[in-house]
Structure 1
Amino acid sequence: MTPERAELIAIQALGWLAGNDDLGPAFLGQTGARAEDLRARAADPAFLASVLEYLTMDDQWIIAFCDDHGLGYDLPLRARYALPGAEQINWT
């Protein structure tokens, strides 16, 4: 997946989270972001990575997001790995 495609998916996820009455405030609380930061940081790949990191914490969130946007369930995690901060870790 290209970084551009990953960013597009993350922006969709950001909008989806922001529009969710339960998850939006929880995301803001956990990331320390303010509502006004969302628009300003929407072009920051590291912030977008945090959006996908949050979304991929729960399978039901992934399913709901992907169903709402007509995406395959694997795409949020694949997008996360295409953005900064998800470099491959070799444990051996």
Structure 2
Amino acid sequence: MRESADVVALGALAWLVGDDELLPVFLGATGASEHDLRARADDPEFLASVLDFLLMDDAWVLAFCRHAGLPGEAVMRARAALPGGADPHWT
């Protein structure tokens, strides 16, 4: 599942980079630089931050999933497989 999560997250990163309106929002929200987009594209924690950002807005998730031909839940499933994505257990 981890490999497919990486593929989804890389696809989301590529989609985000191609969106001239949303990319600056991502960079501002995360503090990432354009250099980070290239240098950290293979970093599972950075990829998790890309998915965390997308998950802030259902419209972004659905737009990416339509673009990628993925079901709407693909982003959440990929996020769960990346570092920090496990549901917290409060017991």
Give the structure-2-normalised TM-score: 0.95
Q: Which residue of 1 aligns with 2:61?
A: 62
Query: 1:87 Cα deviation (Å)?
Result: 2.4
Q: Which residue of 2 aligns with 1:42?
A: 41
Q: How many angstroms apart in 1 are the aligned matches of 2:57 and 2:87?
A: 21
Identity %: 55
Q: Which runs of 5+ in 1 are unaligned?
A: none
Q: Which residue of 1 aligns with 2:14?
A: 15
Give the structure-1-normalised TM-score: 0.94
Residue identity opposite 2:42 in structure 1: A
Residue identity opposite 1:74 in structure 2: E
Query: 1:21 Cα deviation (Å)?
Result: 1.2
CA RMSD of aligned residues (A): 0.9
Runs (4+) off by over 4 Å:
none
Describe the superposition over 1:49-82 as per-residue Cα deviations: whole angstroms up to 9, x where unpaired: 0000000111111111000110000000100000
Q: Which runs of 5+ in 2 are unaligned?
A: none
Q: Which residue of 2 aligns with 1:71?
A: 70
Residue identity opposite 2:59 in structure 1: Q
